[in-house]
Structure 1
Amino acid sequence: MNGKATTTRTKLERGRSALGPALELVHTGRAPTRAVLTSELGVTRATAGVVAAELEALGLIRVDSSPGSAAGSQGRPSHRLAIRESGPVAIAAQVHADGFRAALVGLGGRLVATDPGCVTVTSDPAQVVGEVVDACARLLRDSGLRCVGAGLAVPSAVAEPEGTALNPLHIAWPAGSQVREIFATCVREAGIPGPAFTGNDVNLAALAEHRHGAGRGAQHLLCVATGHRGVGGALVLDGRLHTGSSGLALEVGHLTVNPEGRPCHCGGRGCLDVETDPLAFLVAARREPGPEESLLKQASDLLRTEYEDAAVRAASDELIDRLGLGLAGLVNILNPDRIILGGLHRALLDADPERLRAVVADRSLWGRSGSVPILPCTLDHNSLVGAAELAWQPVLDDPLAALA
């Protein structure tokens, strides 16, 4: 083989190996132009052009035909890169105490379509997951779009490699339910193409926020959030979820923050799970939870509309102090460079950010020498977006192989 052919093959191989990293850069918004893509990949302009053209040919991105410059910028104009709106989608679903939600999610974390299911979550995971997948299949049929795979978020730790829900405390499923196998079977029987994945809802929320939301750019990101019931946590290290040796890391809901507090479903007492979730807030505010709306919505609405009420304000202060105590302990152990809060915790942060930050600073070992930024999550339905990230990951790893 002559030298020219060898050089051509080497360039082609280099370009193909750059497809995944290039797609991830566009997917996460870190490469809005071909010039930035060239710099981030560390390749020549010609190679970046070939890579962008191939991703466009795969139907994943759009490359503007006419290069342009942002207002006030200097230097040579560059072709803009964007996610192709009519490109493939991932199916995403989330089960929680008050029902489920199904969605189609494109690259870039873009919600293409959603279906807010309102079924009763029975004790039979196969029945519930079957209804979830049926809703997903309807969305996919109506869209006419190509599907790369499916992801499911559940309110439980998911053991690896088995894919079992070990502690679905706030839904009536048996401990150890084979949720990944059930989901994969339902997806296959519904004729939905691509692999199927399952994960813990807060883990997936953290992954989505790290790639597309308030956690973007953090190296050590701690996420703590209330769902419709209970409290979960997650840690993202250098862009990857830290799930421990068997998927069970960061069960922060069972940190004790009030030794004389409420009994917890785990058998303990005074855990974050029962001291700082929506039900705890409604009880502390002396409000009777109603059956017509989710507990999360009731608690968030009460905090937003009646914050000046003495009982509501006192309940807010109480939960903020408990939450701050838990976060301080996590800061001492994990030393994150950013904390993001979701669910009712986001609303508590918005209500009195200085109080929460002061509690964390006062109770954490390094709090006085440099506070950790505490920010609200910014994505709507971040667990859904995170579930879709599981399905998108094989495409991000190797677009050619995944879409072959």
Structure 2
Amino acid sequence: MNGNEAHPVAGETSTRNRLERGRGALGPALELVHTGRAPTRAVLTAELGVTRATAGAVAAELEALGLIRVDVRPTAATGSQGRPSHRLEIAEQGPVALAAQVHADGFRAALVGLGGRIVATAPGCEIIDPDPAKVLGSVVEAGARLLRETGRRCVGSGLAVPSAVAEPDGTALNPLHLAWPPGSPVREIFAAKIREAGIPGPVFAGNDVNLAALAEHRHGAGRGARDLLCVATGHRGVGGALVLDGRLHTGSSGLALEVGHLTVNPEGRPCHCGSRGCLDVEADPLAFLNAAGRTPGPEVSLLQQALDLIRTQYADPTVRMATEALIDRLGLGLAGLVNILNPDRIILGGLHRALLDADPERLRAVVADRSLWGRSGGVPILACTLDHNSLVGAAELAWQPVLDDPLAALGHG
């Protein structure tokens, strides 16, 4: 060092050392803020097990990256004593993930920020073409338009589809309700469309119910559960997902928990899997409309027709009987899953959420009566709480590299 070079002062050296020690905590810290578990710097300090100074340096670095905002002058709660801790909030104009969902009645694209907050959305209610490339091209165009309109930075893209998605190649094995060819390489097609549109970041794809469970576990009804079972029916069919020890369980190749093919009525309807009486055909919107003696119309989705029927005509004895029949079938399937998986919480989405709301005691009684673990005290059964949870879950896939290593993911490593 020559005589003209400046020596760092003690305060600068101390700050730099704290930041270097805290850089390994950037990802865990961001995840704590992202999932709402660290609303203040004091909580962040305790959760990370670091000094207050290190937690402050970590929060400052995340703020410098444009990911969070540190409120250094929060308003003290009424009656509280002492100086309130700095509040940690998601940066309002921070980066976003592009999320897309395709279902039997259309698609939706959205921009989703940290915290699972949907910043902008663009529905596409159109007939789904049997060529996945055409549909995914339209989805990406809608997403690119949202990015242009908002001017947000994109960290990556995620896609939710109503099919088992095999890993590591990202193929949709059974997109039956979309009329896409079995084994469609949806992630590869989606990634190609993303690159053509000039959208930066990594690209992911997953099963829609798996992604709904991931979103609900981080931001919704599943928050705080260790072993979470999610069962849902959207526009057609029934899907399930499992979070084990806080992490989404997808099995050895992404195909775990195809709960739609549990038999709940051995003499029931033929299923496309070759069996009879599966949840997929006994407890989805079409099954409900058929049980209620209603002919499905073309105006709105089957799911919306089923939800409207429960909401507006539940007093009709035929509708009530159909509701009870589906509750019993669903409860039988859930009881079998409880016996096998022993979850500490069950969450239900789509039509199943409406069935729970219509007669929660009946559903819980069926599960308790038919399951060993249910008899020992019962498993909490709750409704999903997030709007568009599959979209939020698709965004979680794209946010994960940032949560793992914010500096590297944002090009500051």
TM category (shorter chain) comes to over 0.9
- Tell me the alpha carbon deviations over residues 297-336 of structure 1, each in whole angstroms, 9 at most, x when there is no partner: 0000100110010110000000000000000000000000
Please list every run of at least 4 consecutive aligned residues from structure 1 whose deviation after the TM superposition is greater than 6 angstroms: 3-9
Question: 1:268: how far off?
Answer: 1.0
Retained in 1: the 8 A contact 2:19–2:58? no
Residue by residue over 1:99-142, the C-alpha shift from the partner in whole angstroms, topping out at 9 and shown as x without a partner, is 10110000000010111101211211111111111111111111
Aligned-partner Cα distance in 1 for 2:80–2:265 = 54
Partner residue of 1:139 out of 140, 146, 150 = 146
Contact kept in structure 1, 2:236 and 2:284, CA below 8 Å:
yes
Q: Give the secondary-structure state (helix, strand or coil) at the position aligned to 2:309.
A: helix
Alignment root-mean-square deviation, CA: 1.5
| Equivalent residue number for residue 177 of structure 2 | 170
> Which SS does the other structure have where 2:98 is aligned?
strand
Which of 2, 18, 41 in structure 1 is aligned with 2:25?
A: 18
| Equivalence map 1:163-242=2 (5 Å) | 163-242=170-249
Whole-angstrom CA distance in 1 between matches of 2:113 and 2:140: 18
Distance 1:263 1:71, change over 3 A: farther
Percent of aligned positions with the same letter in both sequences?
84
Q: For the residues of structure 2 that align with 1:74 and 1:340, how far apart are their CA atoms?
A: 39
How many equivalent pairs are there? 402
Aligned to 2:321: 314
Matched, 1:244 2:262: no
Distance between the aligned counterparts of 2:77 and 2:408, measured in 1? Answer: 35
Structure 1 counterpart of 2:97, from 87, 90, 111: 90
Displacement after TM superposition at 1:65 (Å): 2.5
Q: Secondary structure at the match of 2:195?
A: helix
Deviates more, 1:315-324 or 1:70-79: 70-79
TM-score norm. by structure 1 comes to: 0.97
SS at match of 2:178: coil
Match of residue 41, structure 2, among 28, 34, 37: 34
- Asked if the contact 1:68/1:78 (under 8 Å) is kept, the reply is no
Equivalent in the alignment of 2:308: 301
Q: Tell me how far 1:227 sits from its aligned partner.
A: 1.0
Output the TM-score relative to the length of structure 2.
Answer: 0.95
State the shift of 1:171 in Å: 1.1
Q: Output the CA distance in 2 between the equivalents of 1:359 and 1:14.
A: 53
1:71 is aligned to 2:78: yes
Q: CA–CA distance in 2 between the matches of 1:159 and 1:17?
A: 32
Q: CA deviation at 1:238?
A: 2.4
Tell me how far 1:69 sits from its aligned partner. 3.1
Q: Distance in 2 between matches of 1:326 and 1:72?
A: 50
**Distance (whole Å) between structure 1 residues aligned to residue 372 and residue 82 of structure 2:** 47
State how far apart, in whole Å, the 1-side matches of 2:281 and 2:76 are. Answer: 52
Task: Look up the match of 2:359.
Answer: 352
CA distance in 2 between counterparts of 1:72 and 1:14 reads 36
Query: Is contact 1:18-1:41 (8 Å) kept?
Result: yes
Confirm or deny: 8 A CA contact 1:90 1:149 kept in the other structure.
yes
Q: Runs of 5+ in structure 1 lacking a partner?
A: none
Please identify the structure whose Cα radius of gyration is greater. 2
